[in-house]
Amino acid sequence: MSNSKYYQDKICIVTGANSGIGYALSEELLKRGAIVYMVGRNPKKVAKAAEQLSEFKDRVHTIIVDVTVQEQVENAINDTVKETGGLDFLFNNAGVGGTLQFETATMEDWKNIINVNLWSVIYGTHTAVPIMLEQGSGHIINTSSIAGITPPPFQALYSLTKYGVTGLTECLRYEYAEKGLHFSTICPANIATPIFKKSIDGTTHDELKIPDDAYPVDKAAKFILDRVAEYNGIIIVPEEPYTEMWEKYVLKDAEIEEFMMQMARDRRAAYEKGGNYY
Ligand SMILES: NC(=O)c1ccc[n+]([C@@H]2O[C@H](COP(=O)([O-])OP(=O)(O)OC[C@H]3O[C@@H](n4cnc5c(N)ncnc54)[C@H](OP(=O)(O)O)[C@@H]3O)[C@@H](O)[C@H]2O)c1
């Protein structure tokens, strides 16, 4: 299937579309001819993001939604379907990071990250599947993480949410494969976005930096949309070295076991020195 044909004139909803991966996916979808509903919670940020894409004119739409509120997610999807007559792609992408010492996490931290990263995906998927089943077509793409297929130490809360996203999406990929529905799980690793500057509650910390070696977000979006159009299930981006890392982890390879242990030691040492991981 030609990639451009896969998205041409298709109705897409993208959450977390005002920033990072969601913005890059929106831009690339528009370049490939799609009609994009950009979802975000902050009206100013969403309007600014849409303004930057104004060259695509009437194919760019915005919806203000806090993805932690079930009714808002449902209304966004149902209203889009009423307006356009269908829904071809749902990108459940909004999310927050979280790198912290397990013993310091509060119940507020747990609830916040589960609400943003997991419940939002459940709300969106729960609403979209019956619509897509009735249509007999549709593709749901949920953003997990490399932390949703391998467990980085000091990211237990984040990893829990992302393993949930991976499990949900992979189960449904098989469950609906013969019903015309497709499911993909995006597993990014170190993509250059503002997530590196945010703490678990979504607050930005100017002292934090996006790593210099992080993968360019526009390249990531192109790669992801190419793989989605090929109906890939788990999409790891960048592909290497992370695919090899995942395979070695699954095979209980001694090298990756030591790599994880070293990451734990390094992060523990950084915290003990008063380092600023979030
Ligand atoms: N970048 C990476 O290296 C990486 C790696 C693994 C996984 N991911 C995943 O990729 C996804 C996108 O992250 P990103 O890197 O692009 O980060 P980002 O630039 O911080 O974008 C996150 C987006 O989610 C939105 N969001 C957060 N909470 C929300 C809420 N309650 N309601 C509506 N929108 C909300 C943010 O809105 P505001 O701008 O208003 O905060 C923002 O638009 C996330 O699921 C993340 O876990 C990223």
Least Cα distance to 264 among 156, 153, 146, 104 occurs for: 153
Q: Which atom of ligand 1 is nearest to the CA of 146?
A: 6
Q: What is the pLDDT of residues 104-160, one digit of tens each?
A: 999 999 999 999 999 999 999 999 999 999 999 999 999 999 999 999 999 999 999
Cα dihedral 118, 124, 127, 128 in deg (nearest 10): -130
Q: Enumerate the β-bridge partners of residue 139.
A: 89, 182
- Give the chain's domains with CATH numbers: 3-272 (3.40.50.720)
Q: Is 143 in the pocket of ligand 1 (CB under 6 A)?
A: yes
HSE at residue 34, side-chain half, CA atoms within 13 A, is: 26
Query: Ligand 1: does its nearest atom lie under 6 Å from the Cβ of 169?
Result: no
* Atom of ligand 1 at shortest range from CA of 214: 3
Q: How far is the CA of 195 from the centre of ligand 1 (A)?
A: 6
Ligand 1 mean position to 237 CA, how many Å? 16
pLDDT per position as a tens digit, 63-79: 999 999 999 999 999 99
Query: What pLDDT is stored for residue 199 in this prediction?
Result: 86
Compute, in angstroms, the gap from residue 252 CA to the centroid of ligand 1: 31
Mutate to test the pocket of ligand 1, among 13, 14, 25, 41 (most ligand atoms within 8 A of CB): 41
Cα 22 to Cα 8, 13, 29, 73: the distances in Å are 18, 10, 10, 16
pLDDT band at residue 218 using 50, 70 and 90 as cut-offs = very high
pLDDT score at 1: 46
116 lines ligand 1 (CB under 6 A): yes
pTM of the model: 0.97
At 26-63, the pLDDT tens digits run: 999 999 999 999 999 999 999 999 999 999 989 999 99
Spatial contact of 118 and 164, defined as CB atoms under 8 Å apart:
yes
pLDDT at 274: 83
The mean predicted confidence, pLDDT, of the chain is: 96
Residue nearest to atom 39 of ligand 1 (CA): 19
Contacts of 114 (CB under 8 A, 6+ apart): 157, 160, 161
Q: Which of 59, 50, 144 is nearest to 97 (CA)?
A: 144
The pLDDT value given to residue 120: 98
Give the active site residues: 158
Question: Is 67 close to ligand 1, i.e. is its CB under 6 Å away?
Answer: yes
Mind spelling out the 3-state secondary structure of 97-121? CCCCCHHHCCHHHHHHHHHHHHHHH
Residue 59 in 3-state DSSP? helix
> Is 45's C-beta closer than 6 angstroms to any atom of ligand 1?
yes
191 lines ligand 1 (CB under 6 A): yes
Q: Return the best residue to mutate from 168, 169, 195, 237 for the ligand 1 pocket (most ligand atoms within 8 A of CB).
A: 195
Q: Whose CA is nearest to atom 37 of ligand 1?
A: 16
Q: How far apart are CA 18 and CA 220, in angstroms?
A: 16
Does 112 sit in the ligand 1 pocket, CB within 6 Å? Answer: no
